[in-house]
Amino acid sequence: MMWTTKTFLTKTKRGNILKVVREHYLRDDLLCGSSACNNCPHKDNEYVLEAKPQSICALFDYNHYLVLDTNVVLHQIDILEEEALKNVIILQTVLEEVKHQNTAIFQRLLEIIGNKKRRFYSFVNEHHKDTYVERNPGEKQNDRNDRAIRKAASWYASHLSINNLNGQFPQIILLTDDESNRKIAQEKGIVCCSVKDYIENVNGFVGLIDKLSKNVIPESCSKDALYPAHLTPSQVHAGIRNGKLYQGTFYASRDNYLEGSAVISCFEKPILLQGHIGINRAVDGDIVAIEVLPKEEWRKPSDIVLEDKADDQGDLLEEESELLPTVKPKDKSDDEITPTGKVVGIIRRKWRQYCGILKPSKFPGATRHLFTPAERKIPHVRIETRQSDVLASQRILVALDSWPRNSRYPLGHFVRSLGPIGDKNAENEVILLEHDIPHARFSESVLACLPSEDWTIPEEEIKKRVDLRSVCICSVDPPGCTDIDDALHARALPHLTDTRLHMYEVGVHIADITHFVRPNTALDKEAASRSTTVYLVDKRIDMVPDLLSSNLCSLRGGEERLAFSCVWQIDENANVLSTKFHKSVIKSRSAMTYEEAQLIIDDVPREDEIALSLRTLNSLAKKLKQKRLDNGALLLASPEIRFQVDSETHDPVEVQAKKILDTNSMVEEFMLLANVSVAERLAREFPQCALLRRHPAPPPAHFETFLKAAKQQGFELDVSTNKSFSKSLDSAVIPSRPFFNTLLRIMATRCMQQAVYFVSGTRPHDEFYHYGLACPIYTHFTSPIRRYADVMVHRLLAACIGADVTHASLLDTRAADALCENLNYRHRQAQYAGRASVALNTHILFKNRVEIESAVVLAVKRNALQVLIPKYGLEGPLYLPSDKFMYNEEEHIQVCGEIVLKTFDELTVRLTLDSSNLQHRKLVFQLVKPCIPDFSYVPENQTGQMDVEIIDVDKSEVNKPIKTPIKRKDSDALKKKKKLKK
C-alpha cells in the first residue's frame, strides 16, 4: 500500500480561504473483476465479468467489455437498465460524479450493479496505484475525470493482455458521446464508440434503439426558432442578484395548458405566466428564472376551461408550423389583476418519466411520433420509435431529453410498455407512476429486518411494559380494514373529588410499530422514503411489509399485541384531569366495524363490558366534539363515496355515498385528543425538534369567489376568524334545501390551505396553530402503521418517557426538516393517487351506462359550469356554448334569455362516459333541467329525478382513510348480470 495527498481549497462561513490537505491511499491489490484475468487473485465468488463475453454489436465482432463515461450513465440509464448490455465496467470516478449530479440515477445504477445477472463491475480506480491521476494545475475537474476514465480504460486493456497469449482475452471499448474525449482516447489507442453508434448496431434486441436519449441542441441554435433563447446560468444568477429576475417553481394549469404560475415570496399573488412565449418551454415542476412584466402589462388568470389539447392533431410538421395563439389580455378594471411575467431561463429541470399513449404519425413507415402524457399539465412529446404499430395500443412510459428552441414539443425517448390501454393493472400502474408512488416489492434487505412469521411477544418484553391484557379494549374501523392501528377502552372510576362527578379512565392504544422498525435500518429507510400507505379503490400500497401492517402490528381481536398507550382521567363533562403515556401489552376483545359498534351502542338491553365501554366513549366523544366546535373548530365536508367491488374481477359494480355514523365521530374525537396530548408533551420535552402538524389560516383572497356565491344566496359569511366562520356556516341554512349547508361546507373546504408537517424549531410558536381544528398545537400519533410521521412521533414520545433510547437523528433539526418535506410531498401525492383511482373506477362503472341525476353548481366559468353529482360524489365541467350564454364575470353568472345560472343552483344533468379519447376518458355532463331549446338534453322517457342522499362529513382532520369494502356477490346474481350485459 502507498499513499499520496489531495489538496483543495474551501471557503469558510466567515469568507476565509482554507487549504485542506488529505492523505489519499493507493493500493496495488484491487481486483479487476474479470474471470479472464490470470493476474488478480480472485476467489470464485469475486468474478463478475465473463471470460468470453458474447458480442451483440455488429461493429465489434470480438469479445469485449464496455467502459462508460459519466454522461453515458446520466443520459442513457434507460438503455443500461435493459438486459441487453452486460459485462460493463463502472469506474469509481463515474460513480462519484453520478452521485453528485443525480441521486435518483445513482440509485438506479446501484441496483443494476447489485444484480449479479447483469455483470456490471464497480472498479475502484481512484484508489488503484496504476489508475489514479492527479489533477493538473489549472485543469478543470471535468477534464481531469475524463483523463482518469481514459487511464483506467488503457490499464484494463493492458492488464487483461498480460499472460493471455494469441489475443484470447476481452478487449476494452470506451463508450462516450463526448467528441473531444473520443478523439483523445483514439489517439492513445483506446477503442471508442458513441452510444448511438453502438446501440444502432446491436442485434437481437428489438426496441432497444427506441430507448436512446436524444442529444441536447444548444440554445444558441436559432434556425427556425419558435421560442426565445433561455439565459445562461451566469446571466440568470446575475439577474437574480441584482433584482431584475426572480426564482420560482413553475406550476402548469390543469384547466388551461396555455397558462401557469410561479410562487415568489416577495409577491402576494403567484406570478401569472401565459402563452407559449410566457411559459417558454417550462414544464410543470421546473425551477425557473422569471422576468416580471411592467404593471401595465399585468393580466388576470383566464377563466376559460380548455378541453384536451391537440387531441385531433394533424401530422407533426403541420403542428409545428405555428404556435397556438396566446391568451389575450383581460379587462384590468377589477382586483383580480395578477402580477404577470415570462420565463427567461431554466434553473433546474424536474423532469421524470411520464405515462401516456402514442399518437402514430399518419405517414406510412414514419419513425417520428407524438406521445400524449396522461398528466394534462405535461406537453406532448416527440419520440422516435420503430414499434409504433405495437405501441399504439399500449400505455407506455417516456422520458424527456431536451426541448430545442425550434421544436414545438420537447424531445424524449421510449422507456417501456405498461400494458394494454384500458387494462385495469396497466391503468393502476399509470396512477402509481404518475403520482410518484413507490410501489416496488420490498427488497431482500428490507425483508431481512422482519421477525419470523410465528413471532410471539417475549416474556422479557412483557415485563418492561404495562400489562393491559385484562382490560376491555376494542377497535372500531371501516369494513375490510386489516391494518388496525388503534384501539380504545373506557371504564368507570371511583369518585375522586367532592363534586360527585362520575370519573372515567379512557385509553387510546396505538400499534407499537417502532419495536420492529428500528432507526437507520433498511426497513426504516424504506418506510421513511414511502412515508405513507397509499389506498386505491381495489388495492393498498403498504408503507411497511404485510407481516407488520396486517399481522404483527395490527391490533386484531383476541390476539396479544404491543402497543403505545395514552391514558386519561376524564370526568363526565369530558374535562381531562390527567394524562399518562406508557408502552403496553394489550389483547383486544373485539375488532369491530363502525356499523357493528353502532348496533351494540343502540342495543339498550345489552349491558356487557364492551357495550358499557362503547357507550361511555360515545357519550364523552360528543361532549369533546362540542367543546372543539365552541372553540372555533370547523365542520367541513367533502363528497365521499364507497365502491362495491366485484370479488372476481375487482371491477366496481355500484357506487354510493359514504355513510357516517356516531361511531365514526367517536373514534375520531379520541384520536384527535390523543394527538393533541402527545403534541403538548413533545413540545415541552423537545422544543426544537418536535415533529408537529400545522394548518395555516387561508388568505382572504381564497374566500373571494366563495363569499360572492354565498351572498347571492342571501348569506353574509364572516371569515375573519375560524370561530366566526364556523358560526356563520352553522347559520347558513335553507330549510327547503337540506343539502345546501353541506354544499357550502364542501366549497369552504376548497378555500382551505393544506395542513403540513413541520419541526418545532423551524417556526415561531404562533405558527403552530391548526386552523381547522382550532387547537394551538397538534401532531400525528395514532396511525404509525400507515404514516411515517407517527413513527417519528412515537420515537420522540418514547424518549420523553424513558421507554426507548434517544438517537442522534431524533435531535437533528435539519434532518427532521428534510424529512417533513418528503412527508408532505408523499402525503399530497397519496391523496391525488386516491382521487385518480376513484376517477378510474368511476369510468369503468359508467362504461355503457347512462344516468340522469340531480346536480348542483360548484363554480361558474367563462365557458362552463363546474357541477357536482351528490349521489356519486362526482364533479366535472358542463360546457356552455358562447352563442347561447352570456358570461357576467363581475357576478360570476351565466345568462341565457330569462335563465340565470349561478353557484349553488340545482340542476338536472345527464351523465355519460366519453371514451373517444383513449388517453383521457371523461365523464360528459349534459344539461336536462332547466330546459333550454336546442341545447338541453330531452329524455325519451321522462321518469323524474332520482332521489339523492348526501351525508354531512366532518373533514377537519380525518385520521382514517376510506377503506373500500369488497362485497362478495352471489355467483348466480353475477351470472345474471353478465348475461344482461351481453
pLDDT in tens, 668-702: 999 999 999 999 999 999 999 999 999 999 998 88
Selection from 762, 849, 866, 854 nearest residue 814 by Cα: 762
**Euclidean distance between CA atoms 343 and 250, whole angstroms:** 9
What pLDDT, in 10s, does the model give residues 269-282? 899 999 889 999 99
Tens digits of per-residue pLDDT, 602-646? 999 999 999 999 999 999 999 999 999 999 898 887 777 777 777
Which range has the worst mean pLDDT, 473-482, 732-741, 962-971? 962-971
Provide the grid cell at 278: 410566457
Place of cell 356477490: 969
Contact 929, 939 (CB under 8 A): no
DSSP β-bridge partners for residue 121:
89
What's the average model confidence in pLDDT over 103-120? 91
Please answer whether residues 94 and 229 qualify as being in contact, where contact means their C-beta atoms are separated by less than 8 angstroms.
no
Q: What is the mean pLDDT of residues 497-505?
A: 76
pLDDT at residue 844 in the model: 87
Strand boundaries in 323-450, DSSP class E: 340-348, 353-359, 368-373, 381-384, 394-402, 411-420
Min mean pLDDT across 187-191, 204-208, 533-537 is at 204-208
In this predicted structure, what is the pLDDT of residue 701? 85
Residue 776: band (very low, low, confident or very high) from pLDDT cuts 50, 70, 90: very high
* Residue among 942, 956, 947 nearest 739 (CA): 947
Question: Which pLDDT value is given to residue 11?
Answer: 65
Output the pTM of the full model: 0.82
Q: Report the run of H or E that residue 601 belongs to, with start and end.
A: helix 594-602
Q: Which of 870, 853, 849 is nearest to 914 (CA)?
A: 849
Note the pLDDT of residue 917: 78
Q: What is the DSSP string of 50-76?
A: -SSPPP-BTT--S-EEEEE-HHHHHH-
pLDDT of 806 > 90? The answer is: no
**389 is written with which cell numbers?**
404499430
Question: Which stretches of 846-908 are DSSP H helices?
Answer: none
Q: Nearest 5°: phi and psi at 877?
A: -85, 140
Give the pLDDT of residue 321: 33
Whether the pLDDT of residue 10 is over 80: the answer is no
Q: Residue 647: what pLDDT?
A: 67
| DSSP result, 71-119 | HHHHH-HHHHTSTT--SEEEEHHHHHHHHHH-HHHHHHHHHHHH-GGG-
pLDDT at 280: 95
Q: What is the pLDDT of residue 328?
A: 42
With cell 323524474, the residue in question is: 944
Does residue 232 surpass a pLDDT of 70? yes
Higher pLDDT, 500 or 466: 466
Which amino acid is present at 970? D
What mean pLDDT comes out for the span 914-922?
Answer: 80
- pLDDT for 845 equals 86
- Give the bridge partners for 25, in sequence order: 3
Are 469 and 479 contacting, i.e. CB atoms less than 8 angstroms apart? no
Residue 968 has pLDDT above 70, yes or no: no
Task: State the average pLDDT for the chain.
Answer: 86
Beta bridge partners of residue 560, listed in sequence order: 587
Which of 289-293, 630-634, 950-954 is modeled with the greatest confidence?
Answer: 289-293
The larger pLDDT score, comparing residue 964 to residue 542, is at 542
Q: Residue 222: its pLDDT value, please?
A: 62
Has residue 890 got a pLDDT over 80?
A: yes
User: Cis bond leading into 933, ω under 30°?
Assistant: no
- Ranges of beta strands (E only) in 394-512 are 394-402, 411-420, 466-467, 474-477, 486-493, 503-511
What is the average pLDDT across 557-566?
Answer: 96
Look at 6-15, 40-49, 430-439 and tell me which has the smallest mean pLDDT.
Answer: 6-15
What is the reported pLDDT for 217?
A: 64
Rg (CA), the chain: 32
Determine the Cα–Cα distance for residues 634 and 958; give it in Å rounded to an integer. 12
* pLDDT surpassing 50 at residue 369: yes
Residue linked to cell 363546474: 866
Does residue 324 or residue 482 have the better pLDDT? 482
Cell of 432: 402509481
Per-residue model confidence (pLDDT) at position 759: 96
Across 170-184, 325-339, 648-662, the highest mean pLDDT is recorded for: 170-184
Q: How buried is residue 489: exposed, middle or buried, by Cβ count under 10 Å (0-12/13-18/19+)? A: buried
pLDDT score of 9: 62
| Mean pLDDT score, 775-779 | 96
pLDDT of 772 above 70 = yes
3-state DSSP helix/strand/coil percent for the chain, to nearest 5? 30, 25, 45
Stretch 50-63: mean pLDDT: 92
What pLDDT was estimated at residue 334?
Answer: 54
Over 70: is that where the pLDDT of 476 sits?
Answer: yes
To the nearest whole percent, how much of the chain has pLDDT over 70?
Answer: 88
565-579, 638-652, 821-835, 875-889: which has the minimum mean pLDDT? Answer: 638-652
Residue 158 CA to residue 37 CA, distance in Å, equals 11
Range 493-516 average pLDDT: 85
Range of weakest confidence among 266-270, 313-317, 414-418 = 313-317
CA 537, CA 962: separation in Å to the nearest integer? 9
Count, residues in the chain: 982
Burial 90-114 (b: 16+ CB within 10 A, else e): bbbbbbebbeeeeeebbebbbebbe
Summarize the confidence of residues 37-58 as an average pLDDT: 86
What is the reported pLDDT for 16?
72
More confident residue, 660 or 333: 660
Task: Give the alpha-carbon dihedral of 725, 729, 731, 737, to 10 degrees.
Answer: 160
Region 302-324 average pLDDT:
45
Residue with cell 373485539: 590
Pairing of strands 560-571, 411-420: unpaired
- Taking the C-alpha atoms of residue 254 and residue 378, their distance in angstroms, rounded to an integer, is 9
| Mean predicted confidence (pLDDT) in 728-737 | 91
Structure confidence at residue 335 (pLDDT): 59
The confidence band for 810, taking pLDDT boundaries of 50, 70 and 90, is confident
Averaged pLDDT for residues 276-298: 93
Residue 696: all three cell numbers together: 395555516
Residue 963's pLDDT band (cuts 50, 70, 90): very low
801 pLDDT more than 50: yes
Helix (H, G, I), strand (E, B) or coil at 618: helix
- Band of residue 941 on the pLDDT scale cut at 50, 70, 90: low
Q: In the block, which residue shows the cell 344539461?
A: 927
* 547 contacts: CB under 8 Å, gap ≥ 6: 450, 451, 453
pLDDT of residue 326: 39
